[in-house]
């Protein structure tokens, strides 16, 4: 069968740990007459990045419509080979003859499926090692009526698949179902003992339970007359444990391995029993739990000055939403204002705890709602903070800031990006230009905020070189200073933090630690949120000065606004950003120097250290790294 062209189909979901070893093993095969197709169902780790290093075709299937049979059918439909090879992503070939040996039995036209031997390695649990020994013997054989097959290491004829595709409604055992159907048509299944792979399962107890529950649900559908009651489950459990223990003793396994069989078999038979007894409809939620055991690790503000790390299941998606695997999130002073309870939203009761903070983020799309057609899985994105309802007149004008029912990511009644996964309406996400660095990209949101404020400040004014003061050289002040300099203005930066002033990278910016001489500036941008500073600016600014207030939050203050009127000053407030601001920010992003704001990276677990260093002024900007790139 060396001249027969084959397609190797690999189903993946978070298989970064073992995929490279499998692909290397395939490329080392003596038989080179094949193609490789990977069918991915929403991996959130580095699976796809690893796959792209190899000569493979990558197909994507949405997790919401995933089944083992459907993912195989997608691969088979796109396959060009005469024979279809299925191999699990957490396996690797034993030797260079694996592919040849798997294909050889097809010289007999009555052979419909060939499945090969599976063995474990040092990571394999004792109970599973014995299962491999019992299920995959040393001798090859032809199965005429026994409906056995295993798509972790198998091959079928494409011509037969066209007539008998895999059942997409089954929760597992699609291989056994297929074998059963073709055997009824007079074809045979061949077990090839020398087509060997190592099969590595590194599963939690929950994953083991899910695997056997899925298989029981499927078996009940394939063979409806089969019954599995509590007595049978208990007796089977005892029998398997005794056999495992004897196997462990004979093979001189460690006591830890031997004792592990009690828990493994308990979870296995609990899964089997629950699967066989389940009589309800297979809901989307149950299917998601059985297939994709994703946990969402988040920092949660549970109340004023109360925070902790929590793990919960990933959030369900609405039709218009996407799920983003967060890569980086910037620490904003607003996050800490939310924690303190001092933000006006929380003082007024409009916003409520608990909430996951974080609105300055970058990430990658890993799942799509049914109607989220503007993006694709794998797109690198950033997202807006202010989310309008999408229905009111203001939202229809793309002015979500004016929506009375708005939410704000990580701030106002919408969980944010201090989290492994973030869901949001697709219309508020923006695809990053190709080649954009995800680390720097988490600053697109504060850049959009800065642009919105500057556009309001300079609206209606003739272009020209003006004297600009930026008070406060945090993230917003830094970006505003760079933007105003880019527009051709002479910019002076004021910040009491000497290290910030010393680290100004732009030679066109003048840095001063003491606020003075405000009367010489045409534009003043207040970016500290400090009431005393704001009062000084309002008092000392010159006639006809234009003052942009971007800092938050301000405590109540007494001030005679008659001086604003009498001296013809203009005071402009600005908060947040919208779609057009984000588009402008993405277009200008590469014109700015983000290096000074992206030097201090912390893990999610070290979030308190990041807060402390930023609050104390030790660093210009703290960024939390959430996921791998």
Question: What are the structure tokens assigned to 150, written together?
Answer: 């295993």
* Cα–Cα distance measured from residue 300 to residue 358, given in angstroms and rounded to the nearest whole number: 10
3-state secondary structure of 173: coil
**DSSP element (H, E) containing 111:** strand 111-119
* Cα–Cα distance measured from residue 378 to residue 365, given in angstroms and rounded to the nearest whole number: 5
3-state secondary structure of 1: coil
Q: How many CB atoms lie within 10 A of CB 607?
A: 21
pLDDT level of residue 125 (50, 70, 90 thresholds): very high
Find the angle CA(625)-CA(627)-CA(629) to the nearest 5 degrees. Answer: 100
pTM: 0.65
Residue 2 has what pLDDT? 59
* Cα–Cα distance measured from residue 106 to residue 115, given in angstroms and rounded to the nearest whole number: 11
Q: Is the pLDDT of residue 585 over 90?
A: yes
pLDDT level of residue 100 (50, 70, 90 thresholds): very high
Looking at residue 105, the DSSP 8-state letter turns out to be G
Q: Provide the mean pLDDT of the chain.
A: 91
Pairing of strands 34-40, 6-12: parallel
Token pair 């604003």 is at which residue? 564
Pairing of strands 111-119, 188-199: parallel
* Cα–Cα distance measured from residue 552 to residue 538, given in angstroms and rounded to the nearest whole number: 16
Question: What are the structure tokens assigned to 98, written together?
Answer: 């694996």
Token pair 């704000």 is at which residue? 408
Residue 370 has what pLDDT? 81
pLDDT level of residue 106 (50, 70, 90 thresholds): very high
Residue 601 has what pLDDT? 95
Dihedrals phi, psi of 24, to nearest 5 degrees: -60, -40
DSSP 291-356: H---EEEEEEEEETTEEEEEEEEPPPPPTTEEEEEEEEEE--HHHHHHHHT-SHHHHHTSS-S-B-
Question: What are the structure tokens assigned to 324, written together?
Answer: 């983003």
Looking at residue 373, the DSSP 8-state letter turns out to be -
pLDDT level of residue 553 (50, 70, 90 thresholds): low
Residue 283 has what pLDDT? 67
Residue 284 has what pLDDT? 62
Residues 225-238 pLDDT 10s: 888 889 989 999 99
Q: How many CA atoms lie within 13 A of 132 on its CB side?
A: 21
Looking at residue 495, the DSSP 8-state letter turns out to be -
Cα–Cα distance list, 337 to 303, 473, 533, 563, 574 (Å): 12, 18, 18, 31, 18
Q: Which residues contact 256 (CB under 8 A, 6 or more apart)?
A: none
Q: Which of 503, 479, 474 is nearest to 491 (CA)?
A: 479
Q: What is the mean pLDDT of residues 94-108?
A: 96
CB 155 within 8 A of CB 103: yes
Q: Is the pLDDT of residue 629 over 70?
A: no
**DSSP element (H, E) containing 155:** strand 153-157
Residues 392-414 pLDDT 10s: 988 888 888 888 889 999 999 99
CB 481 within 8 A of CB 497: no
pLDDT level of residue 520 (50, 70, 90 thresholds): very high
Pairing of strands 321-330, 421-425: antiparallel
Q: What is the mean pLDDT of residues 544-563?
A: 84
Q: Is the pLDDT of residue 54 over 90?
A: yes
Q: What is the 3-state secondary structure (H, E, C) of 178-228?
A: HHHHHHHCCCEEEEEEEEEEEECCCCCHHHHHHHHHHHHHHHHHHCCCCCC
Residues 558-571 pLDDT 10s: 888 888 998 999 99
Residue 402 has what pLDDT? 86
Q: Is the pLDDT of residue 304 over 80?
A: yes
| CA torsion through residues 321, 323, 329, 332, sign | positive
Dihedrals phi, psi of 445, to nearest 5 degrees: -65, -50
3-state secondary structure of 359: coil
Q: Which of 558, 489, 476 is nearest to 525 (CA)?
A: 476
CB 493 within 8 A of CB 474: no
Q: What is the mean pLDDT of residues 190-198?
A: 96
CB 10 within 8 A of CB 51: no
Q: Is the pLDDT of residue 128 over 80?
A: yes
Residue 287 has what pLDDT? 72
**Of 49-63, 210-224, 455-469, 497-511, the least confident:** 497-511
* Cα–Cα distance measured from residue 123 to residue 350, given in angstroms and rounded to the nearest whole number: 52
* Cα–Cα distance measured from residue 257 to residue 130, given in angstroms and rounded to the nearest whole number: 12
Q: Which of 481, 494, 473 is nearest to 453 (CA)?
A: 481
Q: How many CB atoms lie within 10 A of CB 231?
A: 8
Token pair 């492994």 is at which residue? 420
Residue 390 has what pLDDT? 85
* Cα–Cα distance measured from residue 437 to residue 175, given in angstroms and rounded to the nearest whole number: 43
* Cα–Cα distance measured from residue 617 to residue 334, given in angstroms and rounded to the nearest whole number: 15
Question: What are the structure tokens assigned to 271, written together?
Answer: 């899964």
Q: Which range, 19-33, 282-296, 425-439, 612-626, has the best average confidence (pLDDT)? A: 19-33
pLDDT level of residue 203 (50, 70, 90 thresholds): confident
Q: Is the pLDDT of residue 524 over 80?
A: yes
Residue 113 has what pLDDT? 97
Q: How many CB atoms lie within 10 A of CB 300?
A: 19
* Cα–Cα distance measured from residue 607 to residue 602, given in angstroms and rounded to the nearest whole number: 7
Residue 435 has what pLDDT? 82
3-state secondary structure of 610: helix
Q: What is the mean pLDDT of residues 564-587?
A: 91
Q: Which residues contact 305 (CB under 8 A, 6 or more apart)?
A: 339, 340, 341
Find the angle CA(479)-CA(481)-CA(486) to the nearest 5 degrees. Answer: 95
Q: Which residues of 369-508 form beta strands (DSSP E)? A: 380-383, 386-387, 407-408, 421-425, 429-431, 467-471, 490-494
Instruction: Check whether the bond before 462 is cis (ω within 30° of 0).
Output: no
Residue 66 has what pLDDT? 85
pLDDT level of residue 259 (50, 70, 90 thresholds): very high
Question: What are the structure tokens assigned to 614, written together?
Answer: 């930023």
Q: Which residues contact 276 (CB under 8 A, 6 or more apart)?
A: 216, 217, 219, 220, 227, 228
**Of 172-181, 204-213, 555-564, 613-622, the least confident:** 555-564
Q: What is the mean pLDDT of residues 496-501?
A: 88
DSSP lists the bridge partners of residue 425 as 321
Length of the chain as a residue count:
629
Residues 317-362 pLDDT 10s: 888 999 998 999 999 988 988 999 888 889 888 999 999 999 999 9
Q: What is the mean pLDDT of residues 212-239?
A: 91
* Cα–Cα distance measured from residue 274 to residue 228, given in angstroms and rounded to the nearest whole number: 10
Sheet with 523-526, edge to edge strand ranges:
509-512, 490-494, 467-471, 523-526, 546-549, 570-573
Q: Is the pLDDT of residue 285 over 70?
A: no
CB 568 within 8 A of CB 544: yes
């Amino acid at each position: 069968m060396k001249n027969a062209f084959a397609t190797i189909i690999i189903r993946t979901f978070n298989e970064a740990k073992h995929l490279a070893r499998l692909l290397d093993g395939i490329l080392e095969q003596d038989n080179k007459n094949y193609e490789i197709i990977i069918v991915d169902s929403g991996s959130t780790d580095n699976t796809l990045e690893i796959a792209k290093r190899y000569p493979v075709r990558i197909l994507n299937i949405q997790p919401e419509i995933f089944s083992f049979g459907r993912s195989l059918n997608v691969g088979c439909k796109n396959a060009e080979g005469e024979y279809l090879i299925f191999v699990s992503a957490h396996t690797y070939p034993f030797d260079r003859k694996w592919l040849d040996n798997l294909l050889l039995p097809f010289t007999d036209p009555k052979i419909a499926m060939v499945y090969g031997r599976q063995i474990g390695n040092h990571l394999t649990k004792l109970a599973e090692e014995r299962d491999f020994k019992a299920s995959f013997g040393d001798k090859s054989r032809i199965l005429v009526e026994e409906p056995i097959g295993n798509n972790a290491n198998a091959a079928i004829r494409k011509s037969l698949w066209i007539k008998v595709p895999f059942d997409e409604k089954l929760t597992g055992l699609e291989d056994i179902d297929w074998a059963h159907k073709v055997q009824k048509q007079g074809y045979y299944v061949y077990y090839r003992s020398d087509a060997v792979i190592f099969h590595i399962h590194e599963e939690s107890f929950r994953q083991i339970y899910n695997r056997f529950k899925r298989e029981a649900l499927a078996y009940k559908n394939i063979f409806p007359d089969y019954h599995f009651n509590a007595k049978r489950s208990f007796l089977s459990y005892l029998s398997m444990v005794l056999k495992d223990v004897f196997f462990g003793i004979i093979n001189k396994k460690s006591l830890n391995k031997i004792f592990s069989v009690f828990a493994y078999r308990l979870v296995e038979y609990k899964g089997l029993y629950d699967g066989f007894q389940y009589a309800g409809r297979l809901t989307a939620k149950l299917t998601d739990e059985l297939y994709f055991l994703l946990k969402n690790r988040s920092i949660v503000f549970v109340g004023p000055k109360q925070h902790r790390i929590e793990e919960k299941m990933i959030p369900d998606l609405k039709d218009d939403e996407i799920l983003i695997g967060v890569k980086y999130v910037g620490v904003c002073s607003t996050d800490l204002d939310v924690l303190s309870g001092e933000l006006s939203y929380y003082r007024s009761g409009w916003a409520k705890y608990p909430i996951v903070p974080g609105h300055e983020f970058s990430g990658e799309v890993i799942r799509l709602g049914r109607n989220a057609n503007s993006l694709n899985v794998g797109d690198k994105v950033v997202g807006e903070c202010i989310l309008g309802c999408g229905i009111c007149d203001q939202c229809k004008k793309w002015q979500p800031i004016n929506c009375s029912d708005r939410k704000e990511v990580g701030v106002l009644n919408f969980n944010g990006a201090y989290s492994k996964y973030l869901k949001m309406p697709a219309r508020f996400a923006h695809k990053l230009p190709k080649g954009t660095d995800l680390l720097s990209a988490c600053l697109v949101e504060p850049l959009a905020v800065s642009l919105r404020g500057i556009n309001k400040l300079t609206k209606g004014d003739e272009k020209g070189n003006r004297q600009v003061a930026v008070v406060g050289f945090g993230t917003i002040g830094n970006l505003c200073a760079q933007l105003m300099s880019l527009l051709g203005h002479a910019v002076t930066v004021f910040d009491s933090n000497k290290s910030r002033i010393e680290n100004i990278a732009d030679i066109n910016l003048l840095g001063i630690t003491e606020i003075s001489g405000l009367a010489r500036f045409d534009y003043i941008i207040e970016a500290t949120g400090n009431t005393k500073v704001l009062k000084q600016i309002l008092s000392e600014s010159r006639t006809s000065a234009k003052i942009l207030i971007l800092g938050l939050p301000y405590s109540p203050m007494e001030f005679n606004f008659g001086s604003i009127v009498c001296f013809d000053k203009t005071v402009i407030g600005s908060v947040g950003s919208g779609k057009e601001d984000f588009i402008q920010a993405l277009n200008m992003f590469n014109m700015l120097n983000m290096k000074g704001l992206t030097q201090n990276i912390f893990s999610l677990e070290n979030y308190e250290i990041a807060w402390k260093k930023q609050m104390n002024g030790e660093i210009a900007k703290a960024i939390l790294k959430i996921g791998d790139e």
